[in-house]
């Protein structure tokens, strides 16, 4: 957007939302943040977030019925960025891909010099890898999951397991590369890839992504700077750390 006073941005954002969002602006919850005031062309970057009111109310009502108090709702990719930056060493100046690999969906987000740029969901997720294993070995979903966990591997051909993982990582890599084309900034090399979600702990995924993108790939560790109470069992919690990274990022932000 063009540079303007903060008092003018809110009205301008509402107008922009009407142009960008395929719903009646009165039917959505809308929020925004100025993420960059120092563009070379003299403009500003404004991050716009919108959610249908019905969807928000439905989730809040569900939590209330469960006896929980709702302090804050957030976009999953923002929560992941929050916990990543809180626990990481200085990433200033780096172009980072935050990849949350879930069971049915993968969140792909890009952050440049600590400025959030873009996020999009993608159906290339762990479910695809499970399907490839099932197809190759004629096994059930539960048996495929045991392979992903590193169990009963002696029953299966290692080359076939590796081939299925290659197909999955290749599809995931293509999805990441395609999403780079939506960027408003010209970037041709990712400095770092940070993984979260259940798919992040799939054996071999880090090495294969690192080789494909020729860059550093790491697991998001939400407990690098956050302590774990003894009664929770530190080792057990650390095993699922990448899986609960998103939840930890939301918790960090809850009292702001």
Pairing of strands 95-101, 106-112: antiparallel
Pairing of strands 216-219, 192-196: parallel
Q: Let me know: does 231 contact 66? Beta carbons within 8 Å.
A: no
Q: Let me know: does 119 contact 97? Beta carbons within 8 Å.
A: no
pTM for this predicted structure = 0.85
- Gap between the Cα atoms of 40 and 220, Å rounded: 32
Question: What domains sit in the chain, N to C, each tagged with a CATH number?
Answer: 1-70 (3.30.1490.300), 76-253 (3.30.420.40)
pLDDT in tens, 242-252: 999 999 999 98
pLDDT in tens, 176-234: 999 888 766 667 789 999 999 999 989 899 999 999 999 999 999 999 888 888 888 88
Helix ranges restricted to H, the chain: 6-20, 53-65, 76-87, 126-137, 141-148, 158-180, 205-213, 234-239, 245-253
């Amino acid at each position: 957007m063009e540079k303007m006073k903060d008092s003018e941005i809110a009205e301008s954002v509402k107008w922009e939302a009407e142009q960008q969002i395929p719903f009646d602006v009165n039917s959505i919850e809308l929020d925004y943040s100025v993420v960059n005031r120092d563009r070379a062309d003299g403009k500003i970057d404004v991050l716009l977030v919108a959610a249908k009111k019905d969807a928000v109310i439905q989730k809040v009502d569900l939590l209330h019925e469960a006896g929980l108090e709702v302090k804050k709702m957030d976009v999953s990719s923002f929560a992941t960025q929050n916990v990543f930056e809180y626990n990481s060493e200085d990433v200033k100046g780096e172009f980072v891909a935050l990849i949350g690999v879930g069971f049915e969906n993968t969140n792909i987000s890009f952050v440049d010099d600590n400025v959030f740029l873009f996020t999009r969901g993608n159906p290339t997720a762990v479910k695809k890898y499970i399907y490839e294993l099932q197809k190759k070995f004629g096994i059930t979903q539960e048996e495929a999951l045991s392979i992903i966990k590193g169990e009963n591997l002696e029953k299966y051909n290692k080359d076939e397991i590796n081939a299925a993982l290659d197909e999955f990582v290749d599809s995931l890599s293509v999805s990441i590369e395609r999403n780079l084309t939506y960027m408003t900034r010209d970037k041709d090399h990712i400095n770092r890839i940070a993984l979260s979600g259940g798919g992040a702990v799939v054996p071999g995924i880090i090495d294969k992504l690192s080789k494909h993108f020729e860059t550093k790939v790491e697991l998001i560790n939400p407990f690098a700077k956050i302590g774990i109470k003894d009664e929770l069992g530190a080792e057990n919690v650390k095993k699922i750390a990448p899986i609960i990274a998103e939840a930890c990022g939301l918790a960090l932000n809850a009292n702001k």
